[in-house]
Structure 1
Amino acid sequence: MEKKQITTEIEIYEDVSELPAAVQHLMQKAKEVRANAYAPYSQFLVGAALLLSNGEIVSGSNQENSSYPSGLCAERTAIYAAGANFPNQKILQIAITAGPRERANTVPVPPCGACRQAIAEYEQKQKQPIEVYFMGKSGKVCKVASLLSLLPLAFDRHFL
C-alpha cells in the first residue's frame, strides 16, 4: 500500500478592497449579475464573472427551474456563454459571489462539484490554470491559483 497526501493553498483576503483593482472590477461584475439570478425556489443568488484573454468579461447568474435539476449554476452559465461566444479565448480568472436573497452571508461560497468539473474541463482544454476568486455576499474573499486546487483528482478526457 502507498499513501499520498494532497494539499492545497488558498489565499484569504479580508474583503474585496484587498484584491488587485482588476479583480475588484471582476468581482463587482459578479455582484451586479448576482442580482439577475432567477432563484424562486432556493432564494440563493449566485453571480459569476470571467475574464478572458482578449479582455472581455462574460458573466452569468444561476437560473433555476421547477423541474429540478434543469436549472444551471452561475459559473456554468458564464463558462458556457464564453465557450459559445469566444471559443478561442482562454479564461484567465473567475469571480464568484453568492448568498441567500434575504440575509447576509460573509462566508466564502466555493463552486459546487458540477461547476468545479466544468471549470476543470476548460482549464484542461486551454492547458492553463484559471484563477478562482469566491466570496459570500460580502466579507472575506478566497483565491486559488487553479481550479485543480479545489478538485485535485479531476476526471478528464484521459479516462475516456
Structure 2
Amino acid sequence: MEKISLHIHYHRFTSVEALNENEQRLCRAAVSATETSYSPYSEFRVGAALQLEDGQIVSGSNQENIAYPSGLCAERTALFAVGTQFPGTAITVMAVTARTDRFVIRQPVTSCGACLQVMAEFEKRQKQPIAVLFYCIGGEVIRVNSVRDLLPFAFNEERLKA
C-alpha cells in the first residue's frame, strides 16, 4: 500500500478590495448576476461571472424549479452560455457569490460537485486553467488558480470518445 497526500494552494483575501481591479470587476458582476436568480424556494440567490480571454464577461444565476432536479446552478448557466454563444473562446477566471435575506452568509460559498465537474471539463477542453474566485459579499474572497485544485479526481473517461 502506498499513502499519497494531496495539497492545494489557494489565496484568501480579507475583502474584495484586496483583489486587482479586473477581479474586483468580476466579483461585482457576480453580485449583479444574483439579481436575475429565480430562487423562490430556497431564497438563496447565486451569481457567477466568467471572464473570457478577450475580456468579455458572461454571467449566470441559479434557476430553480418546483421539481428540484430540474433547476440549474449559476455556474453551469454561465458556463453553458459560453459553450453555446462563444464556442472555442477560453475562460480565464470566474467569480461566484451568493446572497439571501434569510440569514447572514459569513464565508464564501463554494460550487457544488456537479458544477465542479462541468468547470473541470471546460478547463480540460480549453487546455488551460480557469482561476476561480469565491466571494462572500462584504467579506473575504478565496482564489484558486485552477479548477483542478478543487476537483483533482474529476471524472475523465477517455474511452467514451471512441
Which TM-score applies when normalising by structure 1?
Answer: 0.96
Counterpart mapping for 1:59-78 below 5 A? 59-78=59-78
Q: Deviations over 1:118-149 (max 9, x none)?
A: 00000000110000000223300000000110
Alignment of 1:135-154 (within 5 A): 135-154=135-154
Alignment of 1:80-119 (within 5 A): 80-119=80-119
Q: Deviations over 1:92-135 (max 9, x none)?
A: 00000013233331211111100000000000001100000002
Identify unmatched segments of 5+ residues in structure 2.
none
Taking structure 1 as reference, are residues 44 and 86 closer, same or farther at Cα in structure 2, changes over 3 Å only?
same
Give the alignment's Cα RMSD to 1 decimal: 1.1
More moved, 30-39 vs 98-107: 98-107
The gaps in structure 1 that reach 5 residues or longer are: none
Q: Please give the alpha-carbon distance, in whole angstroms, between the structure 2 residues aligned to 1:22 and 1:159.
A: 39
The 5-angstrom pairing of residues 49-64 of structure 1 reads 49-64=49-64
Residue 18 of structure 1: aligned partner:
18
Equivalent pairs, count: 160
1:127 aligns with 2:109: no
Q: Which residue in 1 is equivalent to 2:28?
A: 28
3-state SS of 2:36 partner: coil
- Same amino acid, percent of matched pairs: 47
Measure, in 1, the Cα distance between the counterparts of 2:99 and 2:7: 27
Structure 1 counterpart of 2:112, one-letter code: C
What amino acid sits opposite 1:131 in the alignment? A
